[in-house]
Structure 1
Amino acid sequence: MTITSPFGQPFGDPLGLPLGQPDVRTPALTPVSDPVLEIRNLSVDYGYDGDPVHVLRQVSLTLERGEVLGLAGESGCGKSTLAYAATRLLPPPGLITGGEVLFTDRDGTTTDILRLNDAQLRASRWQDLAIVFQGAMNSLNPVFRVGRQIADGIRAHRPEVSQKEALERSAELLELVGISPDRLRSYPHQLSGGMRQRVMIAMALALDPQVLIMDEPTTALDVVMQRQIVEQIADLRDRLGFSVIFITHDVSLLIEIADRIAIMYAGEIVEDAAARDVYQRPRHPYSSALLHSFPPLRGPRRELTGIPGSPPDLSKLGGGCPFRDRCAFAFDACSKVNPELVFPDVPGDDPRRSVACLRHDPAAVRAVGEQPLPVPPELSAR
Structure 2
Amino acid sequence: MTAPAVLDIRGLDVNYGLGDKAVHAVRDINLTLHRGEVLGLAGESGSGKSTLAYAVTRLLSPPGVITGGEVIYHPRKGEPIDILGLGNEQLRAFRWQEISLVFQGAMNSLNPVHTVRAQLTDVLKAHRPDMSRAARDARAAELLALVGISRDRLGSYPHQLSGGMRQRVMIGMALALDPDIVILDEPTTALDVVMQRQILRQLTRLRAELDFSVVFITHDISLLIEFSDRIAIMYGGRIVEEADSKEIYESANHPYSDGLLHSFPALHGPRRELTGIPGSPPDLTAMPNGCAFHPRCPKKFEPCDQRVPVLAPPTPGSDRSVACWLHAEA
TM category, shorter = over 0.9
Report deviation, 1:297.
Answer: 3.6
Letter of the 2:321 partner, please give it: S
Say which of 113, 118, 122 aligns to 1:152: 122
d(CA) in 2 for partners of 1:32, 1:223: 33
Are 1:172 and 2:172 matched, yes or no?
no
Q: Does 1:114 align with 2:114?
A: no
User: Counterparts of 1:198 and 1:161 in 2: how far apart (Å)?
Assistant: 24
**Residue identity in the other structure for 2:6:** V
1:279 to 238, 249, 252: 249
- 2:325 corresponds in structure 1 to 358
Distance 2:44 2:90 in 1: 34
2:217 match: secondary structure? strand
Find the aligned partners of 2:315 and 2:127 in 1 and give their Cα distance.
Answer: 49
1:143 aligns with 2:113: yes
TM-score normalized with structure 2 length? 0.97
Matches within 5 A, 1:78-227: 78-107=48-77, 109-227=79-197
CA distance in 2, matches of 1:318, 1:326: 11
Whether the 8 Å CA contact 1:230–1:256 is kept in 2: the answer is: no
In the alignment, structure 2 segments of 5+ residues that lack a partner are: none
Shift of 1:56: 0.4
User: Which of residues 34, 40, 65 in structure 1 aligns to 2:10?
Assistant: 40
CA displacement at 1:33 relative to structure 2? 4.6
Equivalent-residue separation in structure 2 for 1:360 and 1:299 (angstroms): 29
> Structure 1 unaligned runs (5+)?
1-30, 364-382
Deviation at 1:361, TM superposition (A): 0.8
Q: Distance in 1 between matches of 2:278 and 2:289?
A: 21
How is 1:261-340 mapped onto 2 (pairs within 5 angstroms)?
Answer: 261-340=231-310
- What is the rounded CA distance, in whole Å, between the counterparts of 2:126 and 2:268 in structure 1? 42
2: distance between equivalents of 1:158 and 1:129?
16
CA distance, structure 1, for counterparts of residue 128 and residue 268 of structure 2:
43
Q: Secondary structure at the match of 2:187?
A: coil
Counterpart Cα distance in 1 of 2:314 and 2:3: 21
Q: Secondary structure at the match of 2:25?
A: strand
Percent identity of the aligned residues? Answer: 62
Instruction: Report the equivalent of 1:252.
Output: 222
| Distance in 1 of aligned mates of 2:171 and 2:85 | 27
CA distance in 2, matches of 1:47, 1:332: 33
Question: For 1:185, what is the secondary structure of its paired residue?
Answer: coil
Distance in 2 (alpha carbons) for counterparts of 1:333 and 1:33:
37
Q: Which one of 192, 207, 220 corresponds to residue 237 of structure 1?
A: 207
The residue that corresponds to 1:7 in the other structure is none
Q: 1:119 deviation in Å?
A: 1.2
Structure 2: how far apart are the matches of 1:163 and 1:297? 46
- The RMSD of aligned alpha carbons is 1.6
The structure, 1 or 2, with the larger RCO (C-alpha pairs under 8 Å, 6+ apart) is 2
Q: Secondary structure at the match of 1:236?
A: helix
For 1:33 and 1:219, how far apart are their aligned partners in 2?
A: 30
**Distance in 1, Cα, partners of 2:76 & 2:149:** 30
Deviation at 1:298, TM superposition (A): 3.8
Q: CA deviation at 1:245?
A: 0.1
Name which of structure 1's ranges 210-219 and 102-111 shifts more when overlaid on structure 2: 102-111
After superposition, give the CA deviation of every residue in 1:105-128 in whole Å (9 maximum; x if it has no partner). Answer: 002521110000111111111011
Contact residue 260 and residue 272 of structure 1 kept, 8 A:
yes
> What secondary structure is seen at the aligned counterpart in 1 of 2:80?
strand
Give the conservation status (yes or no) of the 8 Å contact 2:57–2:95: yes
Asked if the contact 1:40/1:99 (under 8 Å) is kept, the reply is: yes
Contact 1:39 1:102 in 2 (8 A): yes
CA distance, structure 2, for counterparts of residue 279 and residue 48 of structure 1:
39
Shift of 1:159: 1.0
More displaced 10-residue stretch of structure 1: 63-72 or 326-335: 326-335
8 A contact 2:5–2:35 mirrored in 1: yes
CA distance in 2, matches of 1:155, 1:360: 53
Counterpart of 2:327, as a letter, is H
> 2: distance between equivalents of 1:168 and 1:33?
34
- Secondary structure in 1 matching 2:206: helix
Distance, in Å, in 2 between the alignment partners of 1:345 and 1:37 is 26
Give the distance between the partners of 1:67 and 1:177, measured in 2 at CA.
20
The 8 Å contact of residues 282 and 288 in structure 2, kept in 1 or not, is answered as no
- Aligned-pair CA distance for 1:319: 2.7
